[in-house]
Structure 1
Amino acid sequence: MKRFFMKRKNLIVSTVLILCLILSTFALAQQESEENPHKVKNVILMIPDGMTIAHTSLARWYQDGESLAMDEIACGLIRTHSANNPITDSAPAATAYATGFKTQNRYLSIYPEMVSMPGVGQVDEKDFYKPIVTILEAAKKAGKSTGLVFTCQFPHATPAAFASHSDNRNDYENIAEQMVYNQVDVVFGGGYKYIDKNQRKDKEDLARYLKENGFFVTPSWYEAKNFYGQKIWGLFAQDAMHYDFDRNGSGEPSLAEMTQKAIQLLSKNKNGFFLMVEGSEIDWASHANDPVGVISDVLAFDRAVKVALEFAKSRNDTAVIIASDHSNGGMSIGNYSTKYDTAMLNDFLKYIKKAKRTGAGIEELLGNNRTDENIKKIVSEYYGVDNLTQDEINAIKNAKTGELNYVLGPIISKRSNLGWTTNGHTGEDVVLYAYHPNNYIPRGLIDNTEVCDYMAEILGIDLGSFNENAYISNIDLEEKGYNVSIDTSNPSNVQLVISKENKTYIIPQNKNVVLAGSTQYRLKYVSVYIPTAKRFFVSSEVENLIK
């Protein structure tokens, strides 16, 4: 009998404790909700690189005036300038979205040393080139899953800005290594050669590193779409992927398919996720003034938007933000020769609607067979153009490898009454689109840095606290009395060497490790070497290791 009462007493105590725990958890959640009633678990940021209002207008007409999925959530405009130029390139533009700070052209998620635009705060000299913690890195530290989806090669400017730090956006090998060591949970896109030891100049086996750290690594979409774990790098092309119109037969997935799979995998984390999706090649088509490429990848991007919005609307914990990083090409519906009071819709769409491939796709079809007859045959079959001039045929014949779209794009644009002002970026505002389950969205004209501020707010992430003491430089360490040197004897593997008493600590660039003899320590952040400034930045907790 006594044992029975003891068991009953223990059961009552246990039940009370469980109830107290449930009530305290509920109270904590309620308090958190009251402090940040707009907080969400998941944020999907979607970047249609280089997309303008002219692009979306033409895309709607291409599908007979039918609205785009993104149209219903248009809510404002974004200023896009960098720290030092009215016209930004993709690196500082993506940096603004990733970090909430402006930097200068070519830089990826590091502070600028050059600030010349009105309203942009000057940076203290000691912080020049210092890495800025990104919202993706902070989300991962906060226990969320992270993902990057794109159609370019993964070390390209936009995805790179979220998971690497550099003063040279074209330094793909070093950027790729940082992104791998940052261990983004889900990466879908192109660029397999940048993790393949046989194709890297430094022979680093980054694919093996990922596998050893629990990632499934594959170049096969079939394998990726049948994967149901949580950590995967699916790189479906050696370099960049095809334009959407040119994918047929390539085995590559669409942007929508990759987005859907990424969401499926990332949403397994009860703490939520941060996902960036880029329509990478809208920008490239714009550089080439290729309207067929623009239509191809604006519509492919919009199908990915539909996937993201359907997921967000099916629950109450997900926000979707769509923001182009800059305008490109100066595209207009109508050019100098257009008589707009008599021009009919078919005058703009006749050839574009007949197009089955982009300019890049036509180049693949032509191969080395650029005879007059084959050029006329292919262009007639895939573009419906039967009246090429001899000058146009010669231009196609003599186009450099990889640049035929720069010839075919203007040929189609001229016949379609479309104007272009440049093969480069332009500096006007871009459209902001946003969805939030409680309709808490930014409106009006905002700065591109405010997109990051908004995402951090609704995720409940204090980016400032992450950045406050994240990195320390070789100069800082020297000032603190440490014996520090930068070993550049192997340019492919620059190292920071810290000596103290009888111990030597070696910190390789791009990795998040410290080597002390046979012992290896892991750091919070990847190490970054800026060769032009001879500055080496390391995760600040290294000081505790070497004390």
Structure 2
Amino acid sequence: SSACSTHNDIPIIEQMLDQNVDVMLGGGYNLLAATVREGSTVKKKAENLGYTVVTDRKSLFDLNYGTKTLGVFSNGHMPVEWVGPGGKGADFVKVDDNRVVIFPNAAACELNPDHKGTPRLEEMSKFALESLKNEGAGFFLMIEGASIDKQAHIAKPCGTIGEMLAFDRSVKMAVEFAKEHGDTAVIVTADHGQATQVIYKPETYDGSPIRRDLIPGLYQLLLTRGGHELGVYYGTNNINDQAHTGVNVPIHTYGMDNAYSLMGVIQQTKIYGAMKEFLFN
């Protein structure tokens, strides 16, 4: 799709419908009633183009694979699978009268009750793969762990971690699909880095107290399944709106005809050419 901003939801979904995309699954229930150029709604336009519109997990699972599907399962963004202790994210550390840091007690991430009843990322991925696998000319499927980024922006590490695990399960499913069916490539990458840094409690090395100045950003101390402390820090902004970073991002592939085509340090635009070569040559 082409739009001046990623916030231009209506033009983007209109273009995707007009491009005759076979399967679209995610959030955005609130957009179904929005008016499109023809004067009808997004929902009506989709139905006129042959889409079955579903809005809950059960309705998705009731469909036959191969159904042309528009699935929207939440108002706005999909709810994340994990939240922080008590629903909280990172915050400024507390200090005593001498500005010495009082570290919080480590606490475990929690399941998000708002996620109940919505399909998981790997479930949507399976539906899409099973629906597309018999396409004679091949297919392209994009699976995005979108809230890995969104939760980092608002300094909520448990949200990021839970969505990363959901994405990891989807990648595993995609690789297993590629192994079973052959002639299928899996490419895993990111479009930018984020502010989330996994650190332990800061140290001064000379044994002096940890003062507030050493932790100027937002910090949260989590407890892992193994009972270990996991410190997470955000330092790109002193409010919750954390920024992207300019780090190199990894790229992993499976099943490419040329295993060396996407190795080392590359321009991100090279990925398009590699996918085009695989699909059409």
Bin the TM-score by the shorter chain: 0.7 to 0.9
1:136-166 per-position Cα deviation (integer Å, ceiling 9, x unaligned): xxxxxxxxxxxxxxxxxxxxxxxxxxxx111
Q: How does 1:184-199 map to 2 (within 5 A)?
A: 184-197=21-34
Q: Does 1:447 align with 2:261?
A: no
Measure, in 1, the Cα distance between the counterparts of 2:205 and 2:62.
51
Cα separation, partners in 2 of 1:201 and 1:216, compared to 1, 3 Å: closer
The equivalent of 2:186 in structure 1 is 320
Measure, in 1, the Cα distance between the counterparts of 2:160 and 2:45.
37
How far 1:295 sits from its partner (Å)?
1.1
Match of 1:419 among 233, 250, 256: 233
1:519-544 per-position Cα deviation (integer Å, ceiling 9, x unaligned): xxxxxxxxxxxxxxxxxxxxxxxxxx
Measure, in 1, the Cα distance between the counterparts of 2:13 and 2:58.
24
Match of 1:353 among 224, 230, 248: 224
Cα separation, partners in 2 of 1:249 and 1:276, compared to 1, 3 Å: closer
Measure, in 2, the Cα distance between the counterparts of 1:340 and 1:300.
38
Q: Classify the secondary structure of the residue corresponding to 1:448.
A: coil
Match of 1:244 among 57, 63, 81: 81
Q: Classify the secondary structure of the residue corresponding to 2:188.
A: strand
Q: Classify the secondary structure of the residue corresponding to 2:251.
A: strand
Measure, in 1, the Cα distance between the counterparts of 2:6 and 2:141.
21
Q: Does 1:218 align with 2:32?
A: no
1:435-472 per-position Cα deviation (integer Å, ceiling 9, x unaligned): 116563421111110011110111126xxxxxxxxxxx
The equivalent of 2:161 in structure 1 is 295
Question: Contact 1:292–1:352 (CA<8 Å) still a contact in 2?
Answer: no
Match of 2:254 among 427, 435, 443: 435
The equivalent of 1:173 in structure 2 is 10
Q: How does 1:65-80 map to 2 (within 5 A)?
A: none
Q: Which amino acid aligns with 2:44?
A: R
Cα separation, partners in 2 of 1:233 and 1:340, compared to 1, 3 Å: farther
How far 1:349 sits from its partner (Å)?
10
Cα separation, partners in 2 of 1:305 and 1:318, compared to 1, 3 Å: same
Measure, in 2, the Cα distance between the counterparts of 1:340 and 1:309.
44
Q: Classify the secondary structure of the residue corresponding to 2:272.
A: helix
Match of 1:259 among 103, 125, 133: 125
The equivalent of 2:138 in structure 1 is 272
Q: How does 1:74-473 map to 2 (within 5 A)?
A: 164-197=1-34, 200=35, 204-228=40-64, 229-245=66-82, 246=112, 250-334=116-200, 337-338=202-203, 351-353=222-224, 416-422=230-236, 423-436=242-255, 438=257, 440-441=259-260, 442-460=262-280
Cα separation, partners in 2 of 1:252 and 1:330, compared to 1, 3 Å: closer
Q: Classify the secondary structure of the residue corresponding to 2:75.
A: coil
Give the TM-score of the pair, scaled to structure 2. 0.74
Give the TM-score of the pair, scaled to structure 1. 0.39
Cα separation, partners in 2 of 1:247 and 1:310, compared to 1, 3 Å: farther
Higher helix share: 1
Measure, in 1, the Cα distance between the counterparts of 2:233 and 2:51.
46
How far 1:201 sits from its partner (Å)?
8.5
Cα separation, partners in 2 of 1:350 and 1:333, compared to 1, 3 Å: closer
Q: Which amino acid aligns with 1:196?
A: A
The equivalent of 1:141 in structure 2 is none
Q: Which amino acid aligns with 1:445?
A: V
Question: Contact 1:316–1:437 (CA<8 Å) still a contact in 2?
Answer: no
How far 1:275 sits from its partner (Å)?
0.2
1:43-97 per-position Cα deviation (integer Å, ceiling 9, x unaligned): xxxxxxxxxxxxxxxxxxxxxxxxxxxxxxxxxxxxxxxxxxxxxxxxxxxxxxx
Measure, in 1, the Cα distance between the counterparts of 2:185 and 2:18.
28
How far 1:296 sits from its partner (Å)?
0.8
Measure, in 2, the Cα distance between the counterparts of 1:314 and 1:287.
37
The structure that has the greater radius of gyration is: 1
Cα separation, partners in 2 of 1:208 and 1:445, compared to 1, 3 Å: same
Aligned length: 230
Q: Which amino acid aligns with 1:455?
A: M
Measure, in 2, the Cα distance between the counterparts of 1:177 and 1:288.
29
Q: Which amino acid aligns with 1:185?
A: D
Question: Contact 2:79–2:114 (CA<8 Å) still a contact in 1?
Answer: no
How far 1:288 sits from its partner (Å)?
1.8
Measure, in 2, the Cα distance between the counterparts of 1:195 and 1:287.
27
The equivalent of 1:510 in structure 2 is none
Cα separation, partners in 2 of 1:247 and 1:263, compared to 1, 3 Å: farther
CA RMSD of superposed structures (Å)? 2.7
Measure, in 2, the Cα distance between the counterparts of 1:449 and 1:325.
10
Cα separation, partners in 2 of 1:193 and 1:270, compared to 1, 3 Å: same
Percent of matched pairs sharing the same residue = 32
Q: Classify the secondary structure of the residue corresponding to 1:434.
A: strand
How far 1:206 sits from its partner (Å)?
2.0
Measure, in 2, the Cα distance between the counterparts of 1:327 and 1:196.
35
